[in-house]
A and B are shown apart, each in its own frame.
Chain A
Amino acid sequence: MSSQTLSRPTDAPAVPTQNRMSFGRWFGSVGLRHIVGVVAVVFAAFPIVYVISASVSTKNTMTDANNLFATFTWENYAMLGCDPSVAADANKCAKVQYFWQWFGNSLGISTVTAIGTVLMGAAAAYAFSRFRFTGRRFGLNALLVIQMFPQMLAFVAILILMTTLGQVVPILGTGSAVALVAVYLGGALGANTFLMYGFFNSIPHSLDEAAKIDGATHAQTYWTIIVPLVIPILAVTALLSFIGTFGEYILASVVLGGGAQSNWTLPMGLYLLVGDSRAPELTLFSAGAAVAALPVLLLFLFLQKYIVSGLTGGAVKG
């Protein structure tokens, strides 16, 4: 963590020429803030720099990978998803032979879960917000209670349930990605309906009443009037759901852990690379981690604005 002392001088001289205060005063009021900022950025970024460096390192030993960018090769990336029957180092290759399957499974499961979560959560939030029916209050209270129970706490029951279901319908049993999505969707209403419910309430009722008078059906009102107005909250919910599902381990291991490795998700597979083994596959893992982090990282960078406003707007109402 030596770069904060390096980067300070580059910041410092530039500013006093713009402002007419003395360096001492500038340093006291703004310069210190930059130092803190740079230190924090170094703290935030160095593990990620380390991963990228290790992912292009030629040697797997820790000491070699620790010298940042001392060596350079694309080989680790090329090895992801290789075929052990033709690879030069079959043992090493076998550990990542399913990488692209893991990647695809994780992307697919997270995407379908995110879409399903948004569709079901938004529909339920719409019903709670716009219809008055018997059991509405009970439903809202029940959701509040359910929201507090993290689904993963019931993983023992889910394990037995999925084993039982799998004996009847294999596609809904342990080892199947469809089953895992179904389990995740079980947590959809509890986790998101309230966030969306508040947002739906903020859309004026006069809008749907006008549509109703114009002869629109309830479905048309929902899809053409309401949904376009709540897109921001749908995007935030989908994104949070995607990210949450992408890194989820406990339920994924319960449902998929006993099945074929090619059906696993990224957290399960990558854990295998470095987790328990005495000689972790550091460079391979780093290449895999760099690839695995990309989808979420990109989503974040492009949608930063929505996430920030969704988080602060939804959570900190004051």
Chain B
Amino acid sequence: MAVSEQTKPVRPASSGEAWNSKTFTVGFAVKLLLMCLVNAFGLYIVYAAYANQSWWVLAGMVVILLALDYTYFTNRYTLPAKYMLPGVIFLLVFQVFAVFFNGYIAFTNYGDGHRLSSPQEAAAFALLQDTKCVPGGAYYPMAAVRQGSEIFIAISKPDASVWVGNEANAMAAVPGAQVGAGGKITSVPGYEIVPPAEIGQKLQGLKAPIGDEPGRVIQAAGVMACDAASTLKWDPAAQTITDTTTATVYHATDKGFFLADGETAGGHRFRTGWQVWVGLDNFTSAFFSDSEYGQYFVSVTLWTFAFAFLSVFLTFVFGTFLAIVLNDERVKGRKLYRTLLLLPYAFPSFLGALVWRNMLNVDGFINQILGGAGIDWLQTQTESGYWLARGSLLLVQLWLGFPYMFLISTGALQSLPGELKEAAVVDGASPARMWLNVTGPLLLISTAPVLVASFAFNFNNFTLIYMLTKGGPSFGATEPVGATDILISMVYRISGVGGGAARADLGLAAALSIIIFIIVAVIAVLGFRQTRKLEEMV
């Protein structure tokens, strides 16, 4: 899906039905050229997918190419599609498919330690990790070599043959390599020798399996490489892993992990597992209080609602107040005011949040204004500190959001029908009464869709939370959730994308994002229905 694709509907003028060009035009030439490029790129993907045996990618790409070629080179029933297809393809692949795929992941245990697809693969992976030099085994001169960006370990055997391999490729002899005095490897055909200074600490992590024997590897050991064997034993028939150092036997369970013999389900398990379908487990552990994150689910959800509501409320009240105050013909320089008040809106909000983070620091600008108060506005880990952080967050949100509400309210106030005001004045309404009964309700009705949309946006205002507090102050030194965390920032943390999670749990993260979606969808539907009712009342 090349970026150039979006320009495809540029001139789809081809011969055929009534509303199509009958001659060869420049437009057709442009179309032909673009379609050639798209097809070339598409076929490249098909070929690459075939070479990688990624059948899903291959099938998807073939379908996309056929749809594109059919749409742009025929004229039956395809006119609307000519305009919609590029957008629809991106939408289907990167949003609709992603959403359904997300739904699928929510029912699996996919995540750190559960990325492999079967007990065999998990065992093979584990066997490669826990290896130790065999006592009395052979040692070989070693070098790190490189092919492209991939690093390999190379050893020279006493017979002057050189063997190369890495974790994904078993050791194999490379003919034609040259060995100097003491077995030092001087050149390996097809590989480039990496100087030890360049590779540094990574050198000690190099290893490669020997042949087909599971658990036997060559690994770096100081300046030499050694014959090494895993401390684990894998029994494919019984599906058990035995840790030979502790004599513990782990057997495969249907929940995607190896459990130590004699333990109950929640007991000691082997660290590497594999991916399985876990049904509703993720949803229950999201809700129920006995799990790592579940105990915070209710309080985080409540705060998310409070944050979204207060964000809209505060920005709207302040913005409307300013709009009323400055929307008066006697005030000179209204344009200048408006331009200056728009500054926070024009300043990218992620930068705004980062700037405020600095200003609210213990040594920051705000404390200095307050005469060296030395308050840690954002990260004090006490009960009052949590509220301080939440309050500070709302202050920053007020700064970021009031200009938008100011704009909206100004526009809405200016478009209110003047007759209603006049009628109220004729009826002898006081200014306060007029506000309460005429201007206020009208303003609310005309801005309601914006308020609902703003609520939905702030419900997932990840950037602000992450940039300002990263969800902190944390509920405890080791707790994964903090006082200003909203649902989406908690989900991000669970997913482990930004680092910092003890264990990336993509299944749980996906399940929680579905819950968020349901909440937002219900709010949006209710909100808009309410809005429509309000409109009908007038």
Which residue from A34, A155, A186, A217 sits with its C-beta under 8 Å from B13? A217
**Contacts A37-B326, A157-B99, A304-B342 hold; do A318 and B415 have CB atoms under 8 A apart?**
yes
CB pair A152 B399 closer than 8 Å: no
Chain A CB within 8 A of B412 CB: yes
B138 interface residue per 8 A CB criterion: no
Question: B327-360: which have CB < 8 Å to A?
Answer: 328, 330-332, 337, 339-352, 354-359
The contact string, 1 if C-beta is below 8 Å from chain A, for chain B 511-538, is: 0010011001100100000000000000
Report whether A271 and B105 are in contact in the complex, using a CB–CB cutoff of 8 Å: no
Q: Is B420 an interface residue (CB 8 A)?
A: no
User: Are the C-beta atoms of B19 and A217 separated by less than 8 Å?
Assistant: yes
Whether A217 contacts B21 by the Cβ 8 Å rule is yes
Taking a contact as CB atoms under 8 Å apart, the answer to whether B462 and A152 are in contact is yes
Given A48-B343, A63-B368, A131-B79, verify A148-B52 contact (CB < 8 Å): no
A120 at the A/B interface (Cβ < 8 Å)?
A: yes
| Interface status of B9 (Cβ within 8 A of chain A) | yes
A160 to B415 alpha-carbon distance, docked (Å): 48
B497 touches A257 (CB 8 A): yes
* Complex interface: chain A residues within 8 A of B84 (CB): 123-124, 127-128, 139
Whether the pair B346, A301 counts as a contact (CB closer than 8 A) is yes
A285 partner residues in chain B, CB cutoff 8 A: 354, 358
Q: How far is the CB of B396 from chain A (nearest CB, A)?
A: 9
Whether the Cβ atoms of B105 and A119 lie closer than 8 Å is: no
Q: Please, which residues of chain B bring their CB within 8 A of the CB of A296?
A: 346-348
Tell me what chain B mostly uses at the interface: helix, strand, loop, or mixed.
helix
Stretch at the interface among B196-204, B291-299, B421-429, B442-450: B442-450
Confirm or deny: B257 has a beta carbon within 8 angstroms of a beta carbon on chain A. no
CA distance A200 to B353 in the complex (A): 37
List the B side residues contacting A189 at CB < 8 Å.
87-88, 90-91
In the assembled complex, B49 has its CB within 8 A of some CB on chain A? yes
A187 and B95 form a contact (CB under 8 A): yes
Tell me the minimal C-beta distance from B27 to chain A in angstroms. 6
Q: Among the listed B93, B325, B517, which residue makes an inter-chain contact with A153, where contact means beta carbons less than 8 Å apart?
A: B517
Q: Which residues from chain B contact A275 at a C-beta distance below 8 Å?
A: 354, 467, 470
Let me know if A292 and B412 touch, CB within 8 A.
Answer: no
Stretch from B184-192, B266-274, B403-411 that touches the partner: B403-411
Q: Do B351 and A36 touch (CB < 8 A)?
A: no
Q: Is B57 an interface residue (CB 8 A)?
A: yes
**Given that A41-B337, A50-B365, A249-B467 are known contacts, is A146 also in contact with B27, CB under 8 Å in the complex?**
no
Q: Which residues in A have their C-beta under 8 angstroms from that of B368?
A: 63, 66
In the complex, residue of chain B having the shortest beta-carbon distance to the beta carbon of A307: B407
Check B91 against A316 for contact (C-beta < 8 Å): no
Closest beta carbon of chain A to B80's beta carbon, Å: 4
Contact A212 B19 (CB under 8 A): yes
Q: Which residues of B are found within 8 Å of A230, using beta-carbon distances?
A: none
Q: Say yes or no: B57 contacts A165, CB within 8 Å.
A: yes
Q: Within 8 Å of chain A (Cβ to Cβ): is B361? A: yes
B121 within 8 A of A: no
Q: Does B208 belong to the interface (CB within 8 Å)?
A: no
Q: Is B237 an interface residue (CB 8 A)?
A: no
Docked-complex contact B467 and A160, CB < 8 angstroms = no
Which residues of chain B from 436 to 470 have any CB-CB distance to chain A below 8 Å in the complex?
445-447, 449-450, 453, 456, 460, 462-463, 466-467, 470
Q: Please tell me if A86 contacts chain B, counting CB pairs below 8 Å.
A: no
Chain A contact-residue range equals 35 or more
A44 touches B399 (CB 8 A): yes
In the complex, whether A289 has a CB less than 8 A from a CB of chain B is yes
Asked whether B463 lies within 8 Å of A168 as measured between CB atoms, the reply is: no
Specify the main secondary structure of chain A where it touches its partner: helix
| A250 interfacial contact with B, CB 8 Å | yes
Contact yes or no, A243 B91, CB < 8 A: no
Q: Is the CB of A312 within 8 A of B408?
A: yes
**Which residues 154-201 of A sit at the B interface, judged by CB distance below 8 A?**
154-161, 164-165, 167-169, 172, 178, 181-183, 185-190, 193
- Contact present for B339 and A151 (CB under 8 Å): no
Verify if B285 is at the interface (C-beta below 8 Å from A). Answer: no
- B509 interface contact, C-beta 8 A: yes
A274 at the interface (CB under 8 A from B): yes
* Any B CB within 8 A of the CB of A79: no
Given contacts A157-B510, A167-B54, A301-B339, contact A248 B95 (CB under 8 A): no
Q: Does A48 lie within 8 Å of B415, measured CB to CB? A: no
Q: Which of B6, B328, B351 is in CB contact (< 8 Å) with A289?
A: B351
Cα separation A308 to B345 with both chains bound (whole Å): 12
A124 touches B350 (CB 8 A): no
Chain A, residues 245-269, CB within 8 Å of chain B (1/0): the string is: 0111110011001000000000100
Q: Is A282 interfacial (CB 8 A cutoff)? A: yes
Let me know if B194 is at the binding interface, CB within 8 A: no
Instruction: Say if the beta carbon of A30 comes within 8 Å of chain B.
Output: yes
The residue from B358, B447, B462 contacting A249, defined by CB atoms under 8 A apart: B462
A47 to B20, Cβ gap below 8 A? no
> Contacting B3 at CB < 8 Å: which of A43, A62, A112, A168?
A112
- Let me know if A51 is at the binding interface, CB within 8 A: yes
Tell me the smallest distance from the CB of A198 to a CB of chain B, in Å.
12
The answer to whether the Cβ of A300 comes within 8 Å of any Cβ in the partner chain is yes
Contact with A along B80-121 (1 / 0, CB 8 A): 100110111011011111110110010000100000000000
A133 touches B326 (CB 8 A): no
Contact A267-B337, Cβ < 8 Å, known A44-B343, A149-B517, A293-B348:
no
B506 within 8 A of A: yes
A156 contacts across to B, CB distance below 8 A: 102, 105, 495, 506, 509-510, 513
| In contact, A182 and B1 (Cβ under 8 angstroms) | yes
Indicate if B214 sits at the interface (CB-CB under 8 A).
no
A297 proximal to B (CB < 8 A): yes
Q: Check if B63 is an interface residue, CB within 8 A of chain A.
A: no
Central interface residue in B27, B80, B88, B349, by most chain A CB within 10 Å: B80
Asked if residues A167 and B517 are in contact (CB atoms below 8 Å), the reply is no
- Tell me which residues across on chain B come within 8 A of A104, comparing CB atoms: none
A231 within 8 A of B: no
Closest to B450 in A: A315
Does the CB pair B332–A293 fall under 8 Å? no
A274: contacting residue among B10, B357, B363, B463, CB under 8 A:
B357
A313 to chain B, nearest CB (A): 8
Interface residues of B (CB under 8 A from A): 1, 3, 6-7, 9-13, 19-21, 27, 44-45, 48-49, 52, 54, 57, 77, 79-80, 83-84, 86-88, 90-91, 93-99, 101-102, 105, 110, 321-322, 325-326, 328, 330-332, 337, 339-352, 354-359, 361, 363-365, 368-369, 399, 402-404, 407-408, 410-412, 415, 445-447, 449-450, 453, 456, 460, 462-463, 466-467, 470, 488, 492, 495, 497-498, 506, 509-510, 513, 516-517, 520-521, 524
Counting from the closest, the 5 A-B pairs by CB-CB distance are A186-B94, A312-B411, A120-B87, A300-B346, A62-B363
19 A-B contacts (beta carbon < 8 Å): A30-B331, A41-B337, A41-B340, A44-B403, A62-B361, A62-B364, A119-B6, A121-B87, A126-B83, A136-B80, A146-B96, A152-B460, A155-B513, A156-B510, A157-B510, A185-B90, A218-B20, A249-B350, A316-B412
Q: A154-B98, A164-B54 are in contact. List 16 more A-B contacts (CB 8 A).
A: A47-B399, A63-B368, A119-B7, A120-B87, A136-B80, A157-B101, A167-B54, A187-B94, A190-B95, A248-B463, A250-B463, A250-B488, A271-B466, A293-B348, A296-B346, A297-B346
